[in-house]
Amino acid sequence: MCLNFCSVSSGMAEAGADMDPEVALGLFEEGATLVLLGVPEGTELGIDYKSWQVGPRFRGVKMIPPGMHFLHYSSVSSESSGGEVGPRKGLFLFLKPRELLLAHWDKQEEDLDFSDSENPEDVARVKAGLRELDSYLGAYPYDTLRKWVSLTDKLSQEVAVALQPLSGRVCAFSDVVPELQLKLTKDRAEQNLPRNDTQCQTMKEGLDRLPRMKQREGTELRFSQIPKQTYPPGATPAQITQCSMDLSYALNCLLEDHHKDQPLNVLGELQFAFVCFLVGNVYEAFEHWKQLLALLCKSEEAMKERKDLYLGLISVLYHQLGEIPPDFFVDIVSQNNFLTSTLQDFFQFAGGSGVDATLRKRSEKFKAHLTKKFRWDFEADLEDCAPVVVELPEGVTLD
């Protein structure tokens, strides 16, 4: 779809064909506006759950419902250069009613620069001429709003700001730099690294000569750290085995360290990771989503103590599992039976004694829904259900 907006005469006229007139009027009067100047034609740009290819008349997006949104875009090289699409970038926006954000395209960085929004005079000038800009602004894709809200209803502005990179940009590919600046041969010698001016004799030697890379500071997603040790200090071998099968101790450690005041915010983190993967194309976020989901689903005691958390988890998963792209869906189901085995643990624990009756009934309905929709068999014995093998701390032995 191309955002040319050649035939748009007014915001109300454009939106009226797609939504209830009262809703359209409300968004026209109360909705926020993004004025994005200089975005090159052909750029892939989207907001929340929908994206387009920018046309020559594009100047931004209007009638945006107040609240949290994810603006994302990918630069596209010229047709003479192959028309290749660059890696996706995005940022979370927290928009107020009738707010206007102003940005221009930075050609050198191939990114949107929102510094103009910090100049009240520039913002006031654009607001004053908004009527003339109206035909160049595309209306927010209201038909996807319900889906977007269902994927972010547990994610607060506070959590999103805490998890996003300090740079404010969520990038599909990591921005990496060398760990050490080794410009001269003597610099490599000082670090006991092989010289670069001789021929490699083996593949390993060649790999050893490559610089070690790290993410540029400020560009990393700041997810909660999943505890590597799942048992308390001084645990006995029996306790270590128990904590390896029931991850409640590790989950409680994560909640204490990262979501102490609002434990339910861990569901917001799960949604943040999912959006960064699904919309932002960040594979690292997909890996974190899997780890966090496994931690939540394999915590038996926590299910008995944190009813609201697990009722919320069912709601989050209900919406997320319906949105995973088919190719990734095959991967996460087939790869070590990750999804089916993880959910099998969840349903087993949720059906155990001591679990709140409401949570038990809700989990049974969710299980039936997944069984019918995806034809998964949660009663089958999976290979991953073999005995858990755990490593004992140094110095601890079994009698």
Strands 32-37 and 60-64: antiparallel
In the predicted structure, residue 12 carries a pLDDT above the cut 70: no
pLDDT band for position 195 (50/70/90)? low
Q: 22-144 has which CATH code?
A: 2.60.34.20
**Positions of CATH 1.25.40.550 in the chain:** 237-382
Which one has a higher pLDDT value, 302 or 381? 302
Burial label for 156, CB within 10 Å (0-12, 13-18, 19+), is middle
pLDDT of amino acid 86: 87
304-316 mean pLDDT: 98
Do 156 and 79 meet the contact criterion of CB atoms below 8 Å apart? no
322-328 mean pLDDT: 76
pLDDT of amino acid 254: 98
The mean pLDDT value of the chain amounts to 85
The domain made up of 237-382 has a fold known as 1.25.40
Of 315-329, 359-373, 377-391, least confident by mean pLDDT is: 377-391
In the predicted structure, residue 200 carries a pLDDT above the cut 50: yes
Pull the structure tokens for residue 70.
């994810």
Provide, for the chain, the percentages of residues in helix, strand and coil under a 3-state DSSP scheme, each rounded to the nearest 5.
45, 15, 40
Rounded distance between C-alpha atoms, residue 244 and residue 389, angstroms: 9
Strands 60-64 and 100-106: unpaired
In the predicted structure, residue 15 carries a pLDDT above the cut 50: no
pLDDT of amino acid 4: 45
CA distances from 389 to 227, 228, 234 (A): 18, 15, 19
In the predicted structure, residue 291 carries a pLDDT above the cut 90: yes
Per residue in 229-285, pLDDT (tens digit) is 999 999 999 999 999 999 999 999 999 999 999 999 999 999 999 999 999 999 999
First to last CA, the chain: 68
Half-sphere exposure in the Cβ direction for 131 (13 Å, CA)? 1
Label residues 178-216 b or e (16+ Cβ within 10 Å = b). eeeebeeeeebeeeebeeeeeeeeeeeeeeeeeeeeeee
pLDDT of amino acid 24: 77
Beta bridge partners of 101: 34
pLDDT of amino acid 396: 47
In the predicted structure, residue 360 carries a pLDDT above the cut 60: yes
In the predicted structure, residue 373 carries a pLDDT above the cut 60: yes
**Positions of CATH 2.60.34.20 in the chain:** 22-144
Pull the structure tokens for residue 338.
């990750």
Listed residue (227, 216, 212) closest to 179, CA to CA: 212
303-332 mean pLDDT: 88
Per residue in 68-92, pLDDT (tens digit) is 999 999 998 776 666 788 899 999 9
Count of CB atoms situated within 10 Å of the CB of 66 = 15
Secondary element (H or E) of residue 285: helix 283-297
Rounded distance between C-alpha atoms, residue 380 and residue 377, angstroms: 6
pLDDT of amino acid 322: 87
